[in-house]
Amino acid sequence: MRAYALQDRGFDTVDANLALGFRDDERDYSVAAHMLASLNIGSIHLMTNNPNKIRQLEQLGTKVSGRIPLVIPASEFNRFYLETKATRSGHLIEFEGKAHLPEQDDPIIVEGTS
């Protein structure tokens, strides 16, 4: 909530977190990697725009065999946030991209299950 208050005062999402003594992104993917390993899932196609998430999962032993981009149309309300994610955090965001990707409708497939 304090980060949102700073954003309301003009800080971008990265600077708000840093001003509060946090890293840019405090998320930890070790539990997710452990769950995937426990389920014997050999590889995943990850829906993300965050290359750091892919790197962290791979460092934790999860094979990321593909990335499905999250297509988020920019609006007057979220453009600054999305641009900050792209320029400051390296997120792979296509601002003038397709409104919807067909593969986002694909069913979830887990090998070895029916």
What does the pLDDT look like over 49-98, one tens digit per residue? 999 999 999 999 999 999 998 887 888 888 888 898 999 889 988 877 55
Q: Does the pLDDT of residue 11 top 80, yes or no?
A: yes
Domain coordinates of the chain in residue numbers? 2-103
Find the catalytic residue in 15, 24, 25, 67. Answer: 25
**What residues are paired with 43 via a beta bridge?**
63
Average pLDDT over residues 39-52: 94
Q: pLDDT value at position 59?
A: 96
Find the catalytic residue in 27, 55, 79, 88. Answer: 27
Distance CA 62, CA 112 (A): 17
Q: Does the pLDDT of residue 99 top 60, yes or no?
A: no
| 27 catalytic per annotation | yes
- pLDDT tier for residue 48 given thresholds of 50, 70 and 90: very high
Q: CB count, 10 Å around CB of 58?
A: 14
Whether the full predicted model's pTM is greater than 0.85, yes or no, is no
- pLDDT tier for residue 103 given thresholds of 50, 70 and 90: low
Tell me which architecture the domain covering 2-103 has in CATH.
3-Layer(aba) Sandwich (3.40)
Q: Does the pLDDT of residue 29 top 90, yes or no?
A: yes
Average pLDDT over residues 14-27: 91
Q: pLDDT value at position 24?
A: 85
| 67 catalytic per annotation | no
Q: CB count, 10 Å around CB of 38?
A: 8
